[in-house]
C-alpha cells in the first residue's frame, strides 16, 4: 500500500504532496510578501532578523537559503557575507524563485547570488560546501523532513550551522487560544481578500498545526546527524528557531 502523509489536515498519498504544495505557492507567489506582512503584522521581519543574527556568517562565506522563496533570508545573508562571499537561493517552485530573483536584482544584488531550482530532499550540492544553511518557513511543506534535514547537514561545512525557522507550538496557554481563533477564522479570509485564495491560506494554518513541536524537531535534527541543537522560542513559541551545529 502507498505511504501517506498530511497535507494540512488531509491525509494524502506521499507522492501527491509535493504537487499540492506546488499549487499553493504558484497560486500565492505574486502576493506572498504582502500577505506575510498582513498576517503577521510585520512581525515575520523580526523573526527573520533574529534568525539571521544567529547565522555565524562572516565576510567571504557561502550561505544556502533552502526553500528561500522571495529571498528574505538571502537578503540578510548577502549583507553578512559581503562582496567576496556567495549566497545560493534555492526553491522547488520556479514562480517563487522568480519572485526572489526579481527582488534581489532590484536591490542590486548580482554576481554573488546564485539561483537554483531544487528540492530540499535532494540538494544538488557537494558535501561540506556551506558555512550556513537556512530553511525559513519551508520545512513544514516538505514531504520527507528527515531526508531534507540529512541533506542540509550533508552540505554544511564542519563548524557550520543550520537555521530552521518555523511555526511551532505556543508555550503560553492563553496565547494559544487567541492564536487559534485568529489563525482559523481570520487568516483564510485575509487570503481570500489579499491573495484571492482562501484554500491556500487554510492549508497554511493547518500545516502549522501538523508540524512537529519544539522538542520533536530538536530530536529529528539530532537524529539527522547534528552534533548539538539549540532552540529559541519567538513570540511565545508561535515561531521557533532551531540551530543545528555540525562540529
Q: Which is nearer to ligand SAM, 92 or 229 (CB)?
A: 92
User: Segment 158-197, which members bind ligand SAM (CB under 6 A)?
Assistant: none
Binding mask 23-52 for ligand SAM (x = CB under 6 A): --x---------------------------
Please state, in angstroms and rounded to a whole number, the distance separating the CA atoms of residues 19 and 42: 29
Helix ranges (H only) for the chain are: 14-28, 32-40, 44-53, 72-81, 94-106, 145-154, 173-181, 187-190, 198-210, 214-223
Sole binder of ligand SAM in the list 7, 8, 21, 109 (CB under 6 A): 21
Q: What are phi and psi of 116, to 5 degrees?
A: -150, 130
Sole binder of ligand SAM in the list 57, 64, 86, 142 (CB under 6 A): 142
Q: How far is CA 135 from CA 54, 152, 206, 239, in A?
A: 13, 9, 19, 13
Distance in Å, CB of 182 to ligand SAM, minimum: 18
Enumerate residues 6+ apart whose C-beta is below 8 A from 231: 214, 217, 218, 240, 241, 242, 243
Residue 75 grid cell: 537578503
Nearest alpha carbon to residue 34 among 217, 193, 244, 247: 193
Q: Which is nearer to ligand SAM, 49 or 105 (CB)?
A: 49
Distance in Å, CB of 87 to ligand SAM, minimum: 13
Q: Which is nearer to ligand SAM, 25 or 226 (CB)?
A: 25
Distance in Å, CB of 93 to ligand SAM, minimum: 3
- By CB under 6 A, is residue 141 in contact with ligand SAM? yes
User: Segment 66-105, which members bind ligand SAM (CB under 6 A)?
Assistant: 67-70, 72-73, 91-93, 96
Q: What are phi and psi of 227, to 5 degrees?
A: -85, -25
- By CB under 6 A, is residue 207 in contact with ligand SAM? no
Interface residues with ligand SAM (CB under 6 A) are: 18, 21, 25, 67-70, 72-73, 91-93, 96, 119-121, 136-138, 141-142
Amino acid at each position: 500500500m502507498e505511504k501517506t502523509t498530511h497535507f494540512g489536515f488531509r491525509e494524502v498519498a506521499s507522492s501527491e504532496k509535493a504537487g499540492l504544495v506546488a499549487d499553493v505557492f504558484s497560486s500565492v507567489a505574486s502576493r506572498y510578501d504582502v500577505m506575510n506582512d498582513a498576517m503577521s503584522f510585520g512581525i515575520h521581519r523580526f523573526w527573520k532578523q533574529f534568525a539571521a543574527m544567529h547565522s555565524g556568517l562572516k565576510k567571504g562565506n557561502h550561505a544556502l537559503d533552502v526553500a528561500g522563496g522571495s529571498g528574505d533570508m538571502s537578503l540578510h545573508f548577502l549583507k553578512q557575507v559581503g562582496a567576496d562571499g556567495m549566497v545560493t537561493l534555492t526553491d522547488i517552485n520556479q514562480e517563487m524563485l522568480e519572485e526572489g530573483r526579481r527582488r534581489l536584482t532590484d536591490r542590486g544584488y548580482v554576481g554573488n547570488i546564485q539561483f537554483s531550482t531544487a528540492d530540499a530532499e535532494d540538494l544538488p550540492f557537494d558535501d561540506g560546501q556551506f558555512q550556513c544553511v537556512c530553511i525559513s518557513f519551508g520545512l513544514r511543506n516538505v514531504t520527507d523532513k528527515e531526508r531534507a534535514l540529512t541533506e542540509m547537514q550533508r552540505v554544511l561545512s564542519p563548524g557550520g550551522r543550520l537555521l530552521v525557522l518555523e511555526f511551532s507550538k505556543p508555550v503560553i496557554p492563553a496565547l494559544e487560544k487567541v492564536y487559534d481563533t485568529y489563525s482559523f477564522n481570520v487568516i483564510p479570509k485575509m487570503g481570500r481578500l489579499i491573495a484571492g485564495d482562501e484554500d491556500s491560506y487554510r492549508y497554511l494554518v493547518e500545516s502549522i498545526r501538523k508540524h512537529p513541536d519544539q522538542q520533536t524537531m530538536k530530536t529529528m535534527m539530532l537524529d539527522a546527524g547534528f552534533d548539538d541543537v539549540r532552540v529559541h522560542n519567538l513570540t511565545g513559541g508561535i515561531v521557533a528557531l532551531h540551530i543545528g551545529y555540525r562540529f
